[in-house]
């Protein structure tokens, strides 16, 4: 066995295998998708078939993933920190709340993010949860004429 590979196996963490595996699964799935693309008759194909270029890229990505395992393995010693996990949770909450109201979702998410930095002053909450979303809403609505998705708060303005 190659000495680089032996050394990589010795110092491996779960991510060393997990990340390349995820990439390979992604490549396998996208390759399967490319086989579903419509094929052009020779007279219309203009050089290459629509699936050729993506397949070429996927093959290259598979090769590079193998190279990563062999030559440049992924080694992450520290776990994802708690605040970052909570931030993912906040993004999830945003995705759910957006169904109710876009700006309500933004305000709640921003308050959550402020809490992640361990800030609990009422004026920070007021700035981040109220003034900034309102200011951004009117800036985009009035200056850039952007119309936001309707919700129980934006309906107050749009009528």
> CB 139 → other proteins: shortest distance, Å?
9
84 touches other proteins (CB under 8 A)? yes
- Characterize 113-127 residue by residue with b for buried, 16 or more Cβ atoms within 10 angstroms of its Cβ, and e for exposed: bbbeeeeeeeeebee
Binding-residue total with other proteins (CB under 8 A): 65
119 touches other proteins (CB under 8 A)? yes
37 touches other proteins (CB under 8 A)? yes
Q: Which residues touch 62 (CB under 8 Å, ≥6 apart)?
A: 24, 27
Q: Determine which residue in the list 5, 21, 80, 96 makes contact with other proteins, applying CB under 8 A.
A: 80
CA-based angle 118:153:150, to the nearest 5? 115
| Cα end-to-end distance, the chain, whole Å | 71
The Cα–Cα gap between 39 and 58 comes to 18
145 touches other proteins (CB under 8 A)? yes
Q: Determine which residue in the list 12, 74, 93, 154 makes contact with other proteins, applying CB under 8 A.
A: 74
2 touches other proteins (CB under 8 A)? no
23 touches other proteins (CB under 8 A)? yes
24 touches other proteins (CB under 8 A)? no
């Amino acid at each position: 066995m190659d000495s680089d590979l032996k050394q990589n196996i010795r110092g491996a963490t779960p991510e060393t295998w997990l990340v390349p595996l995820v990439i390979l699964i992604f490549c396998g799935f996208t390759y399967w998708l490319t086989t579903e693309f419509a094929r052009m008759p020779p007279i219309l194909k203009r050089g290459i078939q629509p699936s050729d270029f993506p397949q070429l890229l996927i093959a290259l990505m598979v090769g590079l993933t193998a190279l990563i395992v062999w030559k440049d393995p992924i080694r992450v010693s520290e776990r994802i920190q708690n605040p970052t996990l909570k931030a993912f949770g906040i993004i999830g909450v945003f995705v759910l709340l957006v169904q109710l109201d876009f700006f309500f979702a933004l305000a709640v998410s921003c308050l959550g993010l402020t809490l992640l930095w361990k800030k609990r002053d009422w004026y920070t909450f007021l700035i981040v949860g109220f003034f900034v979303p309102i200011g951004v809403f009117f800036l985009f609505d009035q200056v850039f004429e952007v119309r936001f998705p309707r919700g129980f708060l934006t309906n107050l303005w749009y009528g």
